[in-house]
Amino acid sequence: MDEKEKNNQNPEADSTPQPMQPEEVAPDIEHPEEIAGSIPPEFPTDVPVYEENSNKTAIIIGIVVFFLIVFGAIYWFFLKDRFSSDTDPIDTPKDEVTLTYWGLWDEPAIFEPLIEAYQKDNPHVSIVYEKMDAEQYRERLIARSQAGNGPDIFRFHNTWLPEIQEVIAPLPMDIMSNQEFEEIFYPIHQKDLKIGDAYYGIPLIIDGNVLIYNETLLKQAGINSPPPVWVGGDNDVLNTVNRLTVKEPNGQIVTSGMAIGTANNIPHFGEIFAILLLLNGADFKDLTTPEAAEALLLYRKFAEDGYWNEEMPNALTAFVQGKTAMIIAPSWHVINIRGQNPDLQVKVAPIPKGLDDSAVSVASYWVEGVNRLSPNQTEAWKFLKYLSEREQLIKMYETQSQVRLFGNPYPRKDMADLLKDNAYIAPVIQQAQDDVYVSLPLADRTYDDGMNEEILQYLQNAINSTAEGVDYGAALNAAHQGIQKVLERYELE
């Protein structure tokens, strides 16, 4: 006990002499009978006579005071911060949360290291990643969510927002403000994912259509670089395709300069036509204009002039086999192409420009969203924000690059320089920086079984009908009527 506590016990007892108790008399007194029942002969007569009950009361009071002082000191130094107030709440354990994450394309091994690191810092959160089958994915997402057993987090295509409004939640401002979103991600992300004043989703990827070419075939034709423009100059698309195309004497195509002009055997024909449409000043939502008909005429010209036809294999297969020198498709196709033919000298360039140096490409990428029917939306958004940070994106890219040719192009503007030396991805990033991407609901390979596929079917019918002699304008008028019904059904103006 310290000096302060000694002084604080019973000050009155310390300053007043205590009466000697009978049992405290020394045992060797010669005449004990002299003190039995009387005052010791040599003890001062003015000392109060000992009273047992009074002394016990003083001891009890001293003990109580002592413990009050000790408890007060302990409270002041150790416990006062533990008690709650309006401005200083008690820390309570967080509820255990399990997040289900539906992904596409990436195996669980891509996300497992990131999930483990996140769970280590957030032990109350468990995350289960599932790679889903792309077939009927969108329908399964909506049905399962409405039945109460859907995912907390899911991947969706950048064109899907009108199709998934019943299950997509807005990004809370306290997780990521609009200003923060716009500072981090590219303009196409901002245009695609904003409805009203809210953003819906966090992108972990940027991708879009680029010009993919066989460098060996170009060099064999004496061409040092891919065409930078569609029309105008010796090195435009039309002249380059003419120089690259090789035919048999009977007119059969041996090597096509470019896969363009038909619909049935070109996977991304809708996106290619849309590029020509926009470069020619037409509006996708109004295909009845002369500008739209001119764009279709240019698209069909490559087939009508004999540079590509329906007898050619699928454009991607033809490219892998060296039967076509150039295709237009999203960059991820390069991974599959090189996987099937590792010796192919594949290069990537931006989409050729139009008149007056105008540039357009159609974006096609995937986004991570949170289910509005999930009870764990806040924790889900926190995890997605974590995934979109630089450190996590780099780890993800490195892991993806261990199992394929390259990882997903970074969606962050501040990470553009990290990929400037990657010949396959640099054009994708450059187009994002230059804000040339647009998103239209005619993207191929989204497996939406909805808006994209319905609109592509109308365009496919229009292109095929012109091959049978239908006027370009009439073909597009028929497509326009069907596409308008689709847009109205999904409430797109």
**CATH code of 290's domain:** 3.40.190.10
Euclidean distance between CA atoms 240 and 271, whole angstroms? 21
Domain stops at, among 389, 404, 433: 433
Backbone φ and ψ for 383, nearest 5 degrees, come out as: -65, -40
- Cα–Cα dist 33/54, whole Å: 27
Residues 396 and 483 in one domain: no
Strand order in the sheet with 202-203: 125-131, 97-103, 153-157, 366-370, 202-203
* Least confident residue range of 92-96, 122-126, 253-257, 311-315: 92-96
The size of the chain, in residues, is 493
Average pLDDT over residues 307-320: 97
d(CA 422, CA 408): 12
Q: Of the candidates 385, 407, 433, which is a domain's last residue?
A: 433
Query: Would residue 24 count as lying in a domain?
Result: no
In a shared domain, residues 380 and 344: no
What is the model's pLDDT at position 232?
87
126 inside domain: yes
Give first-to-last CA distance, the chain, whole Å: 82
333 and 403, same domain (yes or no): no
If you average pLDDT over residues 390-419, what whole number do you get? 97
Whether the Cβ atoms of residue 186 and residue 410 lie closer than 8 Å to each other: no
For residues 196 and 219, state if they share a domain: no
Q: Are residues 102 and 189 both part of a single domain?
A: yes
Q: What is the pLDDT of residues 364-383, one digit of tens each?
A: 999 999 999 999 999 999 99
Residue 259's pLDDT is 98
Q: Backbone phi, then psi, for 6, in 5-degree steps?
A: -60, -40
Indicate whether 164 belongs to any domain. Answer: yes
Write out the residue range of the structural domain in which residue 125 sits: 97-207+365-433
Q: How many CA atoms lie within 13 A of 301 on its CB side?
A: 16
Chain centroid, CA 243 distance in Å: 43
Residue 423 has pLDDT above 80, yes or no: yes
**CB-CB neighbours of 26 under 10 Å:** 5
Q: For residues 76-92, give the mean pLDDT.
A: 40
233, 334: one domain = yes
Q: Do 309 and 229 have their domain in common?
A: yes
Do 131 and 112 fall within a single domain?
Answer: yes
Q: Which range has the worst mean pLDDT, 36-45, 377-386, 472-481? A: 36-45
Do 424 and 482 fall into the same domain? Answer: no
Q: β-strands 125-131, 97-103: how paired?
A: parallel
Confidence category of residue 233, pLDDT binned at 50, 70, 90:
confident
pLDDT category at 82 given cuts 50, 70, 90 is very low
93 has a pLDDT exceeding 90: no
Identify whether 65 is part of a domain.
no
Same domain? 139 vs 160: yes
Residues 136 and 197 in one domain: yes
Does residue 301 carry a pLDDT above 50? yes
Q: What is the spatial distance between Cα 194 and Cα 186, in angstroms, rounded to a whole number?
A: 13
The answer to whether residue 49 sits within a structural domain is no
As beta bridge partners, residue 199 has 194
Give the pLDDT mean for 206-227: 97
Q: What is the pLDDT of residue 78?
A: 44
Q: pLDDT category, 66, cuts 50, 70, 90?
A: low
Residue 267 lies in a domain: yes
Q: Is residue 305 part of a domain?
A: yes
Q: How many distinct structural domains can be found in the chain?
A: 2
Whether residues 336 and 472 fall in one domain: yes
**Maximum pairwise Cα distance, the chain:** 150
Answer yes or no: is 398 within a domain.
yes
**Which two three-digit tokens encode residue 365?**
């990428």
pLDDT of residue 13: 38
Q: How confident is the model at residue 203 (pLDDT cuts 50, 70, 90)?
A: very high
| Mean per-residue pLDDT over the chain, rounded | 86
